[in-house]
Amino acid sequence: GQNIDQPTEMTATEGAIVQINCTYQTSGFNGLFWYQQHAGEAPTFLSYNVLDGLEEKGRFSSFLSRSKGYSYLLLKELQMKDSASYLCAVREAAGNKLTFGGGTRVLVKP
């Protein structure tokens, strides 16, 4: 089976940086995704890592270490609109389905 762990909740101040960690134990690996989900809305794609290293896209960056089964999502210059849940998901090697962690709820305070 697959096990994906991420913190339940984090709080940060507007303008600051927050790092959301995700660890995974899976039988196969074919990519790791981060999604953002505002309350009551659909998850929206943020980033994708399949090779080790850092992927940067504007204020958001995502890192992957396959040997450690570890990823993080870095949110810089936090804005109030970044208050949302952030979902880490692993795609297993054999297919295209995603296995999600429980999500990390980020609260940005003024």
Partner 1 sequence: GAGVSQTPSNKVTEKGKYVELRCDPISGHTALYWYRQSLGQGPEFLIYFQGTGAADDSGLPNDRFFAVRPEGSVSTLKIQRTERGDSAVYLCASSPRPSGRVRNEQFFGPGTRLTVL
Number of neighbouring beta carbons within 10 Å of residue 74: 16
Q: How far is the CB of 108 from partner 1 (least distance, A)?
A: 19
Told to check if 72 binds partner 1 by CB under 8 A, we report: no
CA distance linking residue 73 with residue 33, whole number of Å: 10
Phi/psi of residue 87, nearest 5 degrees: -110, 130
Q: How far is the CB of 15 from partner 1 (least distance, A)?
A: 28
Q: Decide if 9 contacts 107 (C-beta within 8 A).
A: yes
x-or-dash pattern for partner 1, window 34-53, by CB under 8 A? -x-----xxxxx--x-x---
Binding site for partner 1 (CB under 8 A): 4, 30-31, 33, 35, 41-45, 48, 50, 87, 89, 91, 93, 95-103
